[in-house]
Chain A
């Protein structure tokens, strides 16, 4: 009998009213995706200047990198994690999910297929967030500049705060880039997410120009 119920549940896509563990009742439509589709908002800095400086110091000193390797340059993240270069000395850690990270580390060329995932992950990250792009490929296409399938400039699709050139950059260069990012954040210049919110239409138009099978919501988090 229990099995029957289970099977019935599986094919039951009708709207229904359910009761939460707290006793609330609400309506659920299984055929609808639930996400917040509000557009990103510009977050103004705090009105009290010293407080904002303090916030920025906190943000800069707790960098959580999303471990999403998009291209060959992502291999340079591994020595940084290990004891050789040990980025955790500088307060840099890696997180497995966009929801927990503050810095998106783009490790090199992004194909159109990957870019779709990059955009999704970037939008799922909670603010304040920054993008850290290593490798020549993210800057001007690098050695894949004439490829039919890899983008040339990452900053046309998501806002980039710091670029590190090289094919691929050494871990020391990446550490230096992280230092630059920290400095920028402390000076209040890490405004990538606000730039994205401000120029949202432009970014979306660029993204939609190359991602042909746009089957995701315009903004989701």
Chain B
């Protein structure tokens, strides 16, 4: 793994690196596809495990993570890139990796639907995957209020109430000892 990392560091501008839970390296979005191609074709990371996104709403960024795997040496590596978080209905744009792994197109379709991240030229990226014809803020964006949407749309049944787990369990378990603190 060290040699791989050294090779990567020599060739690309690595912005950040962490080794705590597996190896994750952060590069600029423009470098990602080149780095993925390098890892796939030269270093033997031939398997794309997943592609996913995180919405950092406070920093106004989307974090994209590609997990790649080297099935021969049993190594795994995560590539991260931060792209700008667009204001809906505008979409953030990232380069597609479907020419490296055809399966990437499904992840990209999902991200397009759930986060509103567009991958131009990725096959079928505009077609609905899970939600059929969703016409508002993509639901995985953190400013989407899923409870409010559900209440407005799906006829909630009255009589539902929520208990605070801490106080409820305290009252239940230590009823005889009286209230704690």
Chain A contact residues, CB within 8 Å of chain B: 112-113, 116, 139-141, 145-153, 156, 206, 209-213
Known: A113-B131, A113-B132. Is A148-B150 also a contact (CB below 8 A)?
yes
> How many whole Å from A11's CB to the nearest CB in chain B?
26
- CB of B156 closer than 8 Å to a CB of A: yes
Quick one: which of B154-181 are within 8 Å of A by CB? 154-157, 159-160
Q: What are 15 contact pairs spanning A and B, CB under 8 A?
A: A112-B131, A139-B157, A140-B159, A141-B150, A141-B157, A146-B147, A148-B146, A148-B149, A149-B139, A150-B154, A152-B157, A153-B154, A210-B154, A212-B132, A212-B134
Most chain B beta carbons < 10 A, residue from A148, A150, A151 = A148
Closest A residue to B147 by beta carbon equals A146
Complex Cα distance, B128 from A146, in Å, reads 22
Instruction: Classify chain B's interface size.
Output: 20 to 34
Asked if A149 and B131 sit within 8 Å, CB to CB, the answer is yes
Chain A residues, Cβ within 8 Å of B146 = 146-148
With A140-B159, A141-B154, A212-B134 given, name 9 new contacts (CB 8 A): A112-B132, A113-B132, A147-B150, A148-B144, A149-B130, A153-B155, A153-B156, A209-B153, A210-B153
Most chain A beta carbons < 10 A, residue from B134, B155, B157 = B155
Chain B residues touching A, majority SS: loop
Closest A residue to B157 by beta carbon equals A140
Chain A residues touching B, majority SS: loop
Chain B residues, Cβ within 8 Å of A151 = 154-155
Known: A112-B132, A113-B130. Is A146-B153 also a contact (CB below 8 A)?
no
> How many whole Å from B108's CB to the nearest CB in chain A?
20
Chain B contact residues, CB within 8 Å of chain A: 128, 130-135, 139, 144, 146-147, 149-151, 153-157, 159-160
Complex Cα distance, B28 from A32, in Å, reads 54
> How many whole Å from B2's CB to the nearest CB in chain A?
44
Asked if B130 and A140 sit within 8 Å, CB to CB, the answer is no
Complex Cα distance, B157 from A145, in Å, reads 10
Chain A residues, Cβ within 8 Å of B133 = 212-213
Known: A112-B132, A116-B132, A140-B159. Is A145-B153 also a contact (CB below 8 A)?
no
Chain A residues, Cβ within 8 Å of B131 = 112-113, 149
Complex partner residue of A145 from B130, B134, B156, CB under 8 angstroms: B156
Asked if A212 and B153 sit within 8 Å, CB to CB, the answer is no
